[in-house]
Amino acid sequence: MAPNPYLLPIFILSIAVLLYSIIKLKINPFLVLPAVGLLTGLASGLPLEKVTKLLADGFGQTLGSIGIVVGLGIILGNVLAHSGATEQIAKLFLRNVGIKNATLAIAITGYLVCIPVFLNAAFIVFMPLLRDLARTTKIPLVKLVVALIIAGFATHCLVIPTPGPLAVMGTLNLNVGSFLGWSLLIAVPPAIIGLIAANYFGKQPFMQIVETEQVNSAPAENQAVPSGGLSLFVLLFPILLILVGSLMAEFLPKENSFRSVMAFIGDKNVAMLIGVAVAAIALKPYCRKTFDELVSEGGANAGLLVLIVGAGGSFGAIINGSGIAGSLVNVLSSLNLSYLWLGFLLTAILRAAQGSATVAAVTASSILGPMLLSSGDNPVMVGLAICCGSMCFSFPNDSGFWVISRFSGLTVPQMLRAWTLTSTVSGFLGFACTLLLDWIL
Local confidence band at 216 (pLDDT 50, 70, 90 cut-offs):
very low
Is 348 contained in some domain? yes
Would residue 168 count as lying in a domain?
yes
Asked if 133 contacts 279 with a C-beta cutoff of 8 angstroms, the reply is no
Higher per-residue confidence, 250 vs 24 = 24
- pLDDT-derived band of residue 192, with 50, 70 and 90 as boundaries? very high
pLDDT at 215 over 50: no
If pLDDT is split at 50, 70 and 90, which confidence band does 217 have? very low
Cα distance between residue 388 and residue 118, in whole Å = 17
Give dist(CA 11, CA 16) in Å, integer: 9
CA distances from 99 to 105, 134, 137, 191 (A): 9, 11, 7, 19
Per-residue DSSP letter, 162: S
Reply yes or no on whether the pLDDT at 1 is more than 50. no
Q: Is residue 1 part of a domain?
A: no
Give per-residue pLDDT as tens, 133-183: 887 788 899 999 999 999 999 999 999 878 889 889 988 989 888 898 999
Is the torsion defined by CA of 152, 158, 159, 165 positive or negative? positive
Give the pLDDT confidence score for residue 271 in this predicted structure: 85
Does residue 208 register a pLDDT over 80? no
CB atoms closer than 10 angstroms to residue 218: 12
Q: Which amino acid is at 133?
A: L
d(CA 78, CA 126): 14
- pLDDT tens digits along 282-318: 998 888 788 888 888 877 767 776 787 778 778 878 8
Grouping H, G, I as helix, E, B as strand and the rest as coil, residue 23 is: helix
Question: Could you tell me the residue range of the domain that residue 327 belongs to?
Answer: 7-215+226-440
Highest mean pLDDT among 27-41, 208-222, 358-372: 27-41
Task: Say what the pLDDT of residue 119 is.
Answer: 81
The sign of the CA dihedral 231, 236, 238, 240 is negative
- Looking at residue 131, its pLDDT comes to 81
Q: Report whether the peptide linkage leading into residue 161 is cis, meaning its omega lies within 30 degrees of zero.
A: yes
Instruction: Give the pLDDT confidence score for residue 213 in this predicted structure.
Output: 45
| 386 pLDDT higher than 90 | yes
pLDDT tens column, 66-87: 677 777 877 887 788 788 887 7
Mean pLDDT of 38-57: 90
Interhelix angle 119-137/399-408, rounded to 10 degrees, is: 20
The pLDDT score that the predictor gives to residue 190 is: 96
Average of per-residue pLDDT values in the chain: 82
pLDDT score recorded for residue 402: 77
- DSSP state, residue 207: G
Closest CA to 421 of 352, 340, 358: 352
Residue 40 has pLDDT above 60, yes or no: yes
Of residues 108 and 247, more confidence is placed in 108
Is 157 within the bounds of a domain?
yes
311-345: per-residue pLDDT in tens? 877 887 887 788 776 676 567 556 777 889 988 98
Q: What whole-number distance in Å separates Cα of residue 325 and Cα of residue 392?
A: 24
In a domain, 220, yes or no: no
Q: How many domains does the chain have?
A: 1
**Residue 425 pLDDT more than 50?**
yes
Q: Poorest-confidence range of 195-204, 244-253, 387-396?
A: 244-253
Examine residue 278 and state whether it is found in any structural domain, yes or no: yes
Per-residue confidence at 214, pLDDT binned at 50, 70, 90? very low
Query: Does the global pTM surpass 0.75?
Result: no
The answer to whether position 143 is within a domain reads yes
The answer to the question of residue 2 being in a domain is: no
pLDDT reported for residue 6: 81
